[in-house]
Amino acid sequence: MAGYRLELIGRSRDARSFTTTPIAFMDYRLAQELQPAVLRGNAHYILVKLAPGADLEAVQSEIQRRLPYNDVHKREEWAARSRRYWITNTGLGLNLYLTVFLGGLVGIVVVAQTLYASTMEHLKEFGTVKAIGGSNRDIYRILLRQAGVAALVGFVIGAIPAFAIQALAAGAGLQVVIPASIVAIVFAGTIVMCAAAAVISFHKVATIDPALVFRG
Amino acid sequence: MVVLEGRDVRKSFREGRETVEVLRGVSLAVESGEVVALEGPSGSGKTTLLSILGCILTASSGVVTVAGEAVDPRRPSRLPDIRKRSIGFVFQQYNLFPALTARENVEFALNIKGVRGPEARAQAERLLDAVGLADRKGFFPADLSGGQKQRVAIARALTGQPAAILADEPTANLDTQIGAQILDLFRSLAKRENRGLLIVTHDPKVRAICDRVAHIRDGLIAA
């Protein structure tokens, strides 16, 4: 490379960028020689590896003291900064949030429509519930249970491809992180979304005339 | 003891710009243990009267009393509570919940009436035994005959020990023999459990099992 013969001595894990562009780690001076136009006299990023037992905070403070005009980040800080960059400095964040918003909106519409169709189909049964003394609250409970089932089924149907994509992406070297907290938030969000979708059906059953039970 | 009573009940509906008076001062009472048939041609107002006595509709004027409690037409929000406590319904089309078994249908009505858990299950089983469906408790309505469905509906109507049971053409969808069995069951249950039973019907055979027959025509009880 650039007239140099290089030897690959190891492969790193967890060091793939968001765009999956590979990153090569090498001696600082060698890197400067390989890209003289860009790097001669300059350093963009320097990876510091601590000796076993070294005090991370102390090392960070000391580097910051010696290089006051540079940023010194720990691993987590750098990861957060990187995520912030992709979300706020590129169009990616807006696209992702828009996709999530549209997904939520379409989900609410589909579930609302399904529940409403089911409510209309069982209007006479809801009328019977009212005729035998059931209140609107009793019927809301039934609808909420239906919404809960829709949420559970929808969540499982969504989770299966999500975890399959995670496995496929890992095969391509891209790590898709799905922490338990996100799974819990998505599940709770799905429940809330489906409950919100039941509101239109609530309105319909609240206005059911129980006298419809006498119609053929 | 009178369990169901309507005095000078009037009901009118608006149809476009016109007001149609369906009931024009009807009075009818049903005592506990009494079986009364309400007969009349189509459009005579019998289903409207059944709905008013069953606290499904409110009267435009007149007095309705259910199990000693006067129904206040200005407070329709209290009607479900009166239905829950004092009235059982049996419908022409059975109106069973198709996704629930016979036992679950009865149990669901008990749940609505505040009986839950093992107590509801035990009561549902007792009621199904009483209507002769001990061996069909786990069957879904689709797997039951018309007569068996109506028996489940009767068991459901008996939940919560209502003072009055109102039946709308309960034998209309049943053949003669099954219809007669259902009517016998109705009568024996009403007598044994001391419930007031009002049956709206076109079926002349119903008359035979009733203590009294009321005829309604053009919104008035005929003499």
Q: Which residues of B touch A211 (CB under 8 A)?
A: 51, 56-57
> What are the boundaries of each domain within chain A?
92-214
Phi and psi based region of residue A20 (left: phi greater than 0; alpha: psi -120 to 50; beta: remaining): left
Report pLDDT for A216: 61
Q: Which residues contact A49 (CB under 8 A, 6 or more apart)?
A: none
What does the mean pLDDT of chain B come to? 91
* Interface residue B50 vs chain A (CB under 8 A): yes
- Put simply, the answer to whether A124 touches B95 (Cβ < 8 Å) is yes
Report pLDDT for B203: 81
Report pLDDT for A15: 65
Report pLDDT for B75: 87
Report pLDDT for B136: 93
Residue A160 distance to chain B (closest CA, Å): 29
Q: Which residues pair with B35 in a beta bridge?
A: B197
* Interface residue B51 vs chain A (CB under 8 A): yes
Q: Which residues contact A192 (CB under 8 A, 6 or more apart)?
A: none
> What are the boundaries of each domain within chain B?
2-222
Report pLDDT for A16: 67
Q: Which residues of B touch A132 (CB under 8 A)?
A: 83-84, 88-89, 109, 112, 156, 159
pLDDT tens, residue by residue, B77-104: 889 999 999 999 999 889 999 999 999 9
Instruction: Return the DSSP state at B136.
Output: G
ipTM of the complex: 0.87
Among B109, B82, B90, B118, residue whose Cα is nearest residue B4: B82
Query: Who has greater pLDDT, A92 or B30?
Result: B30
Give the nearest chain A residue to B158 (CA atoms).
A132
pTM above 0.80? Answer: no
- Put simply, the answer to whether A125 touches B50 (Cβ < 8 Å) is no
- CB atoms inside a 10 Å sphere around CB B203: 18
Residue A214 distance to chain B (closest CA, Å): 7
Report pLDDT for B144: 95
Residue B188 distance to chain A (closest CA, Å): 22
Best of A132, A149, A208, A209 to substitute, by most chain B Cβ atoms within 10 angstroms, is A132
Residue A210 distance to chain B (closest CA, Å): 6
Q: Which residues contact A46 (CB under 8 A, 6 or more apart)?
A: A28
- Statement: residue B52 has pLDDT above 80: yes
pLDDT tens, residue by residue, A95-119: 989 998 998 888 888 888 888 888 8
Q: Which residues of A touch B91 (CB under 8 A)?
A: 128, 213-214
Report pLDDT for B205: 83
Residue B109 distance to chain A (closest CA, Å): 7
Report pLDDT for B149: 94
Split chain A (216 residues) into runs of 10 and give each run's mean pLDDT.
86 71 81 78 81 94 94 92 88 90 87 86 89 88 89 92 91 83 90 86 83 75
| Topology classification of domain B2-222 | Rossmann fold (3.40.50)
Report pLDDT for B17: 86
Q: Best-predicted range by mean pLDDT among A110-119, B17-26, B178-187?
A: B17-26
- Statement: residue B223 has pLDDT above 70: no
Give the nearest chain B residue to A133 (CA atoms).
B84
Interface of A with B in 114-173 (CB under 8 A): 124-125, 128-135, 138
Res. B157 pLDDT band, cuts 50 70 90: very high
Q: Which of A132, A211, A216 sits opposite B112 (nearest CB)?
A: A132
Mean pLDDT, rounded, for B35-56: 91
Asked if residues B66 and B3 have their Cβ atoms less than 8 Å apart, the reply is: yes
